[in-house]
Chains A and B, each alone.
Chain A
Amino acid sequence: MAVHGCSYSALLLIICSVSVFIVTDSQDTTLSGGHHAAAIEDNPQAATEAAGKTSEEPAVEERSWEATEVEEATLHEAAADKQDTPAPETEAPSPVPQPKDDFQEELVIRPLHSGDIYASFQFRTLWETDFMSGNKVSHYRLFPKSLGQVISKFSVRELHISFTQGYWRTMQWGQPFQPAPPGAELWVWFQDSVTDVDGTWKELTNVLSGIFCASLNFIDSTNTVQPSASFKPLGIGNVTDHRFLRYATLPREIVCTENLTPWKKLLPCGSKAGLTVLLKSEKLFHSSFHSQAVHIRPVCQDWQCKTTSWELRQTLNVVFDLHTSGQGKREWSLFKMFSRTLTEACPLASSSKIYIDITDDPQGELFELSPATPLLSQAMVLGDRRTFSVYDLTQPVTFGTVRSLNPLIRWKSSEGDMLRPLLHAERYVAGYGLQTGEIHTLMYNNHPYRSFPVLLLDTVPWYLRLYIHTLTVTSKGKDNKPSYIHYQPSKDRLRPHLLEMLVQLPPNSVTEVTVQFERALLKWTEYTPDPNHGFYVGSSVISSLVPSIVAMDTNITMDRPLFSSFFPCKEESSFFVRVYTEPLLVNLPTPDFSMPYNVICLTCTVVAVGYGSLYNLLTRSFQIEEPSPGLAKRLANIIRRMRGVPPL
C-alpha cells in the first residue's frame, strides 16, 4: 500500500512540475514573440539572431530581450545616418524617448604629418540619475558600480584622472583631443556639502589607487594644490569656490598593463566586444605616447538644462611611431596598429563608429583608404573644420563579406603641410651646481596677428625654494607684466609652491617666464632609493581660449561626435586649449649616505670637546704641591724623624 502511495505522489509531483514549465514557457514565448515581430519588420538578420536565441534557455532569452530594445534605437539612428550623410549634426533631435542610460563608443584615427598615426578611443556612458540624493543608487547597468559608489560616497561633482606614458609633442603632432601630462594627474571638484575636503581627498585618492592599481596613495599634502583659476568645472555648475577643488600630479608614475586592465573592466562590454577588443597591451605600450583617462561630470540633457545626467567618459589616446611600430613603411591598418581587427560593435552601445581624418587629403591623392565607405562627416574640432570618413560598426554591411573590418591607409606621396598649432610651450632648468637654479618656461604664440591671454599654473615641490622676487616675464625682449598673479609660498614638508599667472601673449612671439630657486638638503630618509636619478617637478599647465579660424559649435545638445564635444564651447570665435609642458628632473644635493655613524661621531666629538674643556675650566681647582724629594732625601728624612730632628 505504501509503495502505491509513493508512486501516486511522485506521479502527481511530475505532473505539477511539467505544468509549471509549460506555463512559464508559453509566457516567455509570448513576450519575446511580440518584440521579435517588431524587429523582423526592420531587420531580417537581427530577427534570425533573436530567433536563434529563443531556442536556448530562459536565462539567455532575458538578455536577448534587452538587446533588442537597444537595437531599435540604433536602427532609427542608422536609418537617419543613411538618409543624410554629409552633415549628420544638422538634423533635428530624435523624437525617440532617450533611454535612461546610454553608451557610445568611437575611435578617431588621424594620420600625422611625420608619418606617425594617432588613435583616440572614447567611450561615453550617460546616465540620468542622482547620486547625491538620499536614496542610494543600487541598480547599475552600463555605469560601473565602483565609480558610482565613489561619486556618492565622496560627494564628487567632477573627477578627472589620467595616466600617461610619454610626452605629447605638439609641434610634430598638433593638438591632442584630450591633453594629459606625463605620469598621473588627478583633479576633483567636490560638492559644496563636503565639510572636510582634505580628509575626503585623502580617502578618495586611496580608493582610486585601489580601483586603478596605481600608486596614487603618494598623493598627499606635499603635492596637492588648490588652483584658483586654471581648472574650472568642465560640466555644469556655477559654484567656483576653489576651496572644493583639488589638483595633484605624480610625474613619476608609470603606466602599464596593470593600469589598463582595471580601466577596461569599467567599460560595459569589458574587453570582449566592440572597439575594446583592439586594446591589447602588447601593442598599446609599444608606442610613443599612451594616455588613458577617466572623466566624470554632470551634463545637461537638453538645451534648457531641465534635467541633468552623469557622464562618464573613458578616453585612450595612443600615437604609434612610424619606425618602431610601422617598420618604416607609411602604411597603417588596424591590424598593424593593434594586431586585431573588428568583428562586431558592442551590443550595448547605441553608437559605435570609426572616424578617419581625411582633411589633409580631400581629393584622395595623398593617401588611399580601404575599404571605401560612403559615410562622410564634418566636425569643428580644435578650431578647424575637419572631414572624416566614417565606419559605422552597428551596420553589418560595414564588415563586408569577410565579417571583419580592417581599415587600411596607404600613402602615395609624402607631401603636405601640417597646420601649425597656435599655442605650445616648453620648459627647462638652467643654471649650474647643486645650490641654485632657474626654471625657464617658454610659451609660443604662433598666431600671425591675434594676441590672447593664457593662464600659467606652476606647482613646484617645497624642496626647490622659489624666490618670487626674481620672477621675470619677457616677450620679444620687453618686460610683460602679468595682469593677475596668485602665489602661495610653500611650507617645508607640508605643501608645494603654487604660482598662477595670467599673461597676455603678443602675436607671433615667444614669452619667457623665469624664476630662480634654491635646492634644499633633505633628511636622509626623505630621499628615494635612487637619489641621483633626480626629483621630478610636475608639468606646468597652460590653459587658454585660443582664437579659432572657423566658427565653433556652441550648441551642447546636438548629436555630435564625442571628440568634438569634450571641452564645452561657450563662444564661437575661440576654443579651449590646455597645453602641458615637460616635467623637469632636478638633482638635489645629497649627503653621504654611507656614513651616518661617522657624521654623528664627528659632531658629538666636537660637542664633547667643547663640553669637556669648559667643564675642566669650571671645575678644576689648583693646589700648590711641594715637589716630592728624591729617594735619598726621603730616606734621610725618615731617619731624621726617628731621631727627632727637623727634616731637610
Chain B
Amino acid sequence: MAAPLTLLLIVAVTIRAALYRSSLADLISERVEVVSPLTAWKRVVEGLALLDLGVSPYSGDVFHETPLIIYLFHFLVDYAEITFMLADVITAVALYLTVKEYNKQVFRKQKYALEADRYPLDCLELIRSPKEMFYIPLKVAMFYLLNPFTILSCVAKSTCGLNNAVLSLFILSTVKGNVLLSAIFLSLATYQSIYPLTLCASALLYLMQRQYIPVNFRRASFWWFIVQYAFILSVPDLTPNIGLFWYFFAEMFEHFRLFFLCVFQINVFFYTIPLSIKLKEHPVFLIFMQLAVISIFKSYPTVGDIALYMAFLPVWSHLHRCE
C-alpha cells in the first residue's frame, strides 16, 4: 500500500504546486468561503509585520492567531507554501494510518462477534470483508488530498490546514491508544480554536474502552478550563462566511445579542453529551460526528473544516452500499 499512497501524495503535491504558481492563488486567498478572520494568511503576515514594527499584534483587532503560529512562521515565512503542503501530507498520512488501525480493530471485534453468533441473519450483508476494507485507507487519504475544498484551503494558505493536521494526529494517537500524545494533540487543537474541546469526551470514551474500562457516566467528574477565547466566543467580526453567525448577528437587536450568542455557542457544545451516551460503543464514529457538528455550527467555519470530516466518509461506506 505504500506505493499507491506515495503516488497519491505526489499527485496531490503537484496539483497544489501548480496552483501556487498560477494567478488563481491571490484570488483564492481572498475568498471569504476559504479564509476567515481567524485563519487568513494575510492576517498572519500582518501580525508578523506589526511585530517587526514593534507593536504587539494583539493590540489591534486584525490578528487572531495563537502565539505559537507567530513563532512558527517567524522562521518559516519564506517557506510558507511548503509548510502548508507538508501539513496536508501529514494529515493524509495520519488519516491513512488511523483508518488502517481502526479497520484492524473493527475486523477483530467483528470476528469475535461472528464467532459468538451475535449478529442476526439478515444483517450479514453489512458485515465488512477484508477485501473491501483493503482499499479504504487509501480512499480516505484520496478523499482528503484530492478534495477541492482541501486544495483551495491549501492554496489560500489558510491555517485551517495546520489545524486539520493537528486534529488528524490527535485522532491517530487516540486510535493507536497513546494517551500522552492524544492529550498533547488535543490540547494543541483546542489552543488554536476552542471547539475541539468537545472531542475530549469521545477520546476518553475510546481510550477507556480500549483498556476495557466500562464507562459509567455517573461516577466520573470532569473539570475543564474555560479559557476565554473572546474573539471566537463573542463573534465581533461580521465578515460574511459560510457559517450561521454573521448575518444573524448583523441584523440582531442589541438587547438580545448576548442571549442569542449564548444560544448559538451552546448549540455547538451541548451535542457532546447526548451523542456520547448514544454512541458510546462507536467512539470513532462519535469523533466523526463531533467534527461534523463543529464544522457546521462553529462561529467562523471555512471549507477546510468541511474537508476534514468529509475525508472520513469512506470508512463507513459499507453502510451506504446501493445495489
Contacts and interface: CB of A to CB of B under 8 A. Distances in A.
Given A468-B53, A525-B253, 17 more contacts: A468-B49, A469-B46, A491-B59, A520-B238, A520-B239, A521-B238, A523-B249, A523-B254, A525-B254, A599-B247, A599-B250, A600-B251, A603-B244, A614-B275, A618-B275, A618-B277, A618-B278
Contacts of A614: 271, 274-275, 293
B55 interface: yes
Contacts of A610: 296-297
Contacts of B297: 607, 610
A520 B250 CA distance: 11
Contact of A521 (B240, B267, B278): B240
Nearest to B297: A610
A156 to B, nearest CB: 29
B281 interface: no
Interface in A288-316: none
10 contacts: A467-B42, A468-B50, A487-B53, A488-B55, A491-B60, A521-B239, A523-B238, A525-B254, A596-B251, A600-B251
A611 B49 contact: no
Interface in A407-454: 435-436
B117 to A, nearest CB: 20
B101 interface: no
B254 A521 contact: no
Interface in B73-89: none
| A-B CB proximity, top 6 nearest | A489-B60, A469-B49, A596-B251, A603-B248, A492-B61, A521-B238
Interface in A610-639: 610-611, 614, 617-618
Contacts of B191: none
B146 interface: no
A467 B32 CA distance: 17
Contacts of A487: 50, 53, 55
Contact of A600 (B53, B246, B248, B277): B248
B53 A485 contact: yes
Given A468-B50, A469-B49, A611-B267, A523 B250 contact: yes
Given A521-B240, A606-B244, A607-B267, A491 B254 contact: no
A502 to B, nearest CB: 14
Interface in B237-262: 237-240, 244, 246-254
Interface in B266-323: 267, 271, 274-275, 277-278, 293, 296-297
A556 B14 CA distance: 74
Interface in A496-539: 497, 520-525
Nearest to B240: A521
B238 A522 contact: yes
Given A467-B42, A523-B249, A600-B252, A490 B61 contact: yes
B62 interface: yes
Interface string B215-253: 000000000000000000000111110001011111111
Nearest to B52: A469
A611 B251 CA distance: 22
Contacts of B296: 610
B8 interface: no
Nearest to A606: B244
B48 interface: yes
State the majority secondary structure of interface residues on A.
Answer: mixed
State the majority secondary structure of interface residues on B.
Answer: helix
A492 B236 contact: yes
A591 interface: yes
Contacts of A607: 244, 264, 267, 297
Contacts of A520: 237-239
A48 to B, nearest CB: 72
Contact of B30 (A435, A523, A595): A435
B183 interface: no
Contacts of A525: 253-254
B45 interface: yes
A465 B47 CA distance: 13
Nearest to B40: A518
B207 to A, nearest CB: 23
A469 B73 CA distance: 15
A462 interface: yes
A489 B61 contact: yes
B46 A468 contact: yes
A489 B271 contact: no
Given A468-B53, A520-B237, A603-B244, A488 B251 contact: no
A639 B275 CA distance: 49
B303 to A, nearest CB: 17
Nearest to A485: B53
A488 B253 CA distance: 31
B62 A489 contact: yes
A640 interface: no
A493 interface: yes
Contact of A489 (B50, B248, B274): B50
Contacts of B59: 488-489, 491
Question: Chain A CB within 10 Å — which of B46, B48, B250 has the most?
Answer: B250
A522 B48 CA distance: 27
A411 to B, nearest CB: 54
B301 to A, nearest CB: 12
A599 B249 CA distance: 10
A611 B275 CA distance: 12
Question: Chain A CB within 10 Å — which of B60, B236, B278, B296 has the most?
Answer: B60
B251 A591 contact: yes
B238 to A, nearest CB: 5
Nearest to B274: A618
B55 A469 contact: no
A200 B275 CA distance: 55
Interface in B127-159: none
Contacts of B253: 525
B61 A491 contact: yes
A462 B237 CA distance: 12
Contacts of B293: 614
A489 B49 CA distance: 12
B61 A521 contact: no
Nearest to B277: A618
A612 to B, nearest CB: 12
B55 A489 contact: yes
A12 to B, nearest CB: 79
A603 B267 CA distance: 13
